[in-house]
Structure 1
Amino acid sequence: MQPVANFPAGNEDGDRIIKVDHAGEHGAVNLYSGQIFMARFTAPGLVDELKQFRAHEQRHRAIFAAELARRGRARCRSYRLCGIGGRVLGLITGLLGAGAISATTVAVERVVLRHLENQLSALQGKDPFAVAAISAIVAEERQHHDCSASHIQGGTFWSWFLSPVVSGSTEVVIWLGMRL
C-alpha cells in the first residue's frame, strides 16, 4: 500500500503505535463479543451496555484501520493474537458474571488510557495524524472505564483478583505488539 498523495506518511513511532492500537481495538471488539455472548446468561443487565462498548471499539478499530491504509502500512503482527486473547478473556470473564465483566473492563481501560495519554504526549508535534486518530477515541475509552467502575462496589473479589492479572496481561500484549 502507498500513502495517499499530499499527506505525509507519518513517522516510524506513529506507524508502530497506530498498528498496535489497531490490534488492541480488535482485541477489545472480541473481548466485548465474548462477554456479550456469556452475559446473556450470567449478567443480562449488562448486555446493552456491552453492545454499546463493542460498537465504540468497532468504530475505534475502523479509525486506526483507515489511518494504517492512509499510511500504506499493514496491520500489526499481533492482530490475530489480540483477537483470540480478547475473545478468550471475554468468554471467561463473561462466564464469571457482572462483577468480573466490570472489573475486567476497568483493568483493561486503566492500562489503555495510560498508554493513550503517553502516546499523545510522545507524538505531539511529530505526527498530527496519529494524534488525531488517538484523540478521537479517548473520551469513549474513559466512558467505558468510568461506567464499569460505577458497577463495582468497594473491594470486590473480582476487582482484587482480576485487576493485576488483566492489567499485567494487557501490558504484556502492548509490549509485544510494539516489538513484533
Structure 2
Amino acid sequence: MALVAWLKAGETLGDRVMKVDHAGEQGAICVYRAQRWWARWRAPEMVAELDEFLAHERGHRSRFGAELLRRNRRRCRSYYFCAVGGFTLGTLTGIAGRHAIAATTVAIERIVLRHMHAQLQALDSIDQPAADTLRTIIAEEQEHHDRSAARIGAHGLWPTLIDPVVAFSTETVIWLGMRL
C-alpha cells in the first residue's frame, strides 16, 4: 500500500496520517485567515462563511493535535511549509475575490476528501482512534466543498484557472508530508 511505504521506524500508519492531516489543517487555517482578511474588501458577504470555515479548521487541527499528543508524536515537518503555502494561496485568491475564494475551497476540499476517505479505508481495521478522528472531520470538509461549489457553479474562469494549480499544490503538500 502506498500509504505505508514511507513510514519512519517505530511509526504507525495512523501516526503518519495524523501528522500529515494536522499539518494540512494548519495550511487550511492560513488559507482562510488570509482570504478572510482580503474578503473584508473584495467579498464582504463571505466573511461570516469564512469565519465559520476557519472555526471548523481550528477544531480539526485541535482534534489531530490531541491525537498526536495521545500518541506522543511530534507534528509533521511540513507543518510550517503548509502554513506559509496556505497563507500565500489565501492572499492571492483573497485579492482575486469571491469566485477565486470559493474555487480554491472546492479544489482543496476535493483533494483532501479523496485522501481522507482513502486514509479512513486504510485505517478502519488497524487504528480505530485515527479512523474515528477522520470520521469526525470528513462531514465538515464536505460541507465546505459543497457550499463553495454552490457559490461558483460548475463552470467559470476561476475554477478553470485555480483548480489544476490548487489541486496539484495540495497533492504535492500531502505527498511531501507523507515522506518528511
Shorter-chain TM range is over 0.9
Matching of residues 18-167 of structure 1 within 5 Å: 18-167=18-167
Q: Structure 1, residues 23-69: CA drift from partner, whole Å, max 9, x if none?
A: 00000011000000000010001010000000000000000000000
Q: Post-superposition shift, 1:154? A: 3.9
TM-score by length of 2: 0.93
Q: Deviations over 1:72-121 (max 9, x none)?
A: 00000000000111011001100000000000000000000000000000
RMSD after superposition: 1.0
TM-score (norm 1): 0.93
Deviation at 1:170, TM superposition (A): 0.1
Unaligned runs of 5+ in 2: 1-9
Query: Per the alignment, in what secondary structure is the counterpart of residue 150 of structure 1?
Result: helix
Q: Which runs of 5+ in 1 are unaligned?
A: 1-9
CA distance in 2, matches of 1:13, 1:36: 34
Percent identity, aligned pairs only? 54
CA–CA distance in structure 1, aligned partners of residues 70 and 61 of structure 2: 14
| SS of match in other structure, 1:74 | coil
Q: How far did 1:11 drift? A: 6.0
State the one-letter code of the partner of 1:104. Answer: T
Runs of 4+ in 1 over 2 A off after TM superposition: none
The letter of the residue matching 2:44 is P
SS at match of 1:105: helix
Q: Tell me if structure 2 keeps the 8 A contact 1:40–1:47.
A: yes
Q: 2:170 corresponds to which letter in structure 1?
A: T
Is 1:178 the counterpart of 2:178 in the alignment? yes
Q: Is the 8 A contact 1:11 1:127 kept in 2?
A: no
Contact 1:11 1:126 in 2 (8 A): no
